[in-house]
Amino acid sequence: MKWLPLGDAALVCETGRAASLARRLRENSPPGCLDVVSSYDQLAIFFEPEDGGTILDWLKKEPLSETADPPRREYRIPVCYDPEFIEPIAEQLGLSVEEVISLHHSARYRVAAVGFSPGFPYLTGLPKQLALPRRATPVKLPAGSVAIAAEQAGIYPTDSLGGWHSLGRTDVALFDGTEAALEPGDEVIFYPAEISLPEPRTDTTLAVEDPALEILTPGNITTVQDLGRAGHRHLGVTAGGVANPEAAAATNLLVGNSASAPLLEFCLQGPSVRFLKDACIAIHGMADSRVGSPQFVHAGDTLNLVGRPTSSYGYLAIAGGFKAREFLGSASTDVRAGLGRVLKKGDLLDRGTPTTPSPLLSNQRVYWPHPKSYLEIRVLPGLQEDWFSSLAEFYEELFEKSAHFDRTGARLDGPSLSLHEKRELRSQPIAPGAIQVPPSGQPIVLTAECQTIGGYPVIAHVISADLATFSRALPGTVINFKKVTLAEARAAHLDRQQELALLKTGLELLKK
């Protein structure tokens, strides 16, 4: 098998037995393997950039024998078809609404892959008469949406942005927080039915026993985050975690926490909070004299993190870290997956026990560079690089990070990128840093909470060392993309790791 780079933290190959080999690799994976994902005829293995060479050597030497396919399971799934949604689809296809519904539920489907979002099944078997290109621009689709795109069918387990066309909704739960209901090889039959959408789940996100902090105003998309949950991409669960790992780690280290301790992340505008206990805290992401040094607060003190942002993502760390319910081994919030939620007014948060009795003195400071108006972001070639007629334009022209961004990705304003010819891409494994180009021609850089499988062509891939730099860039930042080699990408990653290690060592020395 020929393995190709998927950025600098994954390898991908084509094989007719992707699902079987993925199971085999998950059962007997090389050291350093973080996860294995299959999609149709592609297989991807994920790792830290420094482990890429070792894993490739193992893959070349280790014969990959297939495992036996598990017995096929058949699922009958009810669908409440919505004529209002179907009417424009039927018009494009030259069919009646009734014909679209009949064609859709008369077919037998097979699960080819699970991904995009937790439990999302990619289904083969869609009648050719229903083949329809993806939308030019993704739209918000509610949980339970039964949808089609290209020659595929699928079901959205949670509210999501997607480029597929919805036919209606189902009430079948596809992900329970730990497992996906459907697996590759399962068979699905849809049937028309009236449905009752489930009641929202009871919120058990915050593990509050002895609260240390109260949210007075929530700010913008304030969530509990840590360094993420590796190992669950094959369920459709992204690794997630903080959008800017370097800043989050440093903010934690300032108060004596481990780099991976849960902290609060906010987007551009932070929350206002009241402390219910004495604490040591550190903040990042705004123009404030307190940034870069630990601060001691008393019970009853308030903190307002509304100010001029210096980063798209800011952080509030507390000695001991914040407590929140863990899902799949991580306290990180993944709203799209239904793992935790955005914080709201009145929420109380508990904290853990500080690991060091005496963090840095408040007059000791770590200085952060000022935000730049121009960035050179290094990239590796995307798997579909040769599809684009505007490749030279991508590297020679300038883009701007738009105000349309969230934890899944950021749109770029700039030249419209075009293909040599119009074509559809069968959904494939994807990773943070991928630069997808939807039919609109405006690229999207995928970030921490991106989908695990995607269907838009990838022109390039931001290297791991520069992804945090891109994520923290403010809207309006001008960006130029520079192509580098895989060896250069891995060297840059090691440089960043060494910088963080030096910071940690320096902070430890200052405490003595």
At which residue do the structure tokens 């596809």 appear?
A: 174
Q: What is the C-alpha to C-alpha distance for residues 444 and 438, in angstroms, rounded to an integer? A: 8
> Taking the CA of residue 213 as centre, how many other CA atoms within 13 Å lie in the half-sphere pointing to its CB?
33
What secondary structure, in 3-state letters, does 366-414 show? Answer: CCCCCCCCEEEEEEEECCCHHHECCHHHHHHCCEEEEEEECCCEEEEEC
Phi, psi of 254 (to 5 degrees): -60, -30
Strands 109-114 and 187-192, bridge-based pairing: antiparallel
Closest CA to 489 of 7, 6, 2: 7
* DSSP summary character for residue 50: G
pLDDT for res 199: 61
Give me the residues paired with residue 169 across strands: 80, 145
Q: What is the C-alpha to C-alpha distance for residues 72 and 68, in angstroms, rounded to an integer? A: 12
pLDDT for res 201: 56
Q: What is the C-alpha to C-alpha distance for residues 436 and 34, in angstroms, rounded to an integer? A: 23
At which residue do the structure tokens 């319910």 appear?
A: 325
Give percent above pLDDT 90 in the chain: 63
**In which residue ranges of the chain is pLDDT below 50?**
none
Region label for 73, one of left (φ > 0), alpha (ψ between -120 and 50) or beta (otherwise): beta
pLDDT for res 198: 62
pLDDT for res 331: 93
Residue-range domains of the chain with CATH: 4-61 (3.30.1360.40), 75-192 (2.40.100.10), 213-351 (no CATH), 374-493 (2.40.100.10)
pLDDT, mean over the chain: 90
pLDDT for res 360: 55
Q: What is the C-alpha to C-alpha distance for residues 87 and 95, in angstroms, rounded to an integer? A: 9
Are 299 and 352 in contact by the 8 Å Cβ rule? The answer is no
Task: Count other C-beta atoms under 10 Å from residue 111's C-beta.
Answer: 23
pLDDT for res 65: 66
pLDDT for res 463: 98
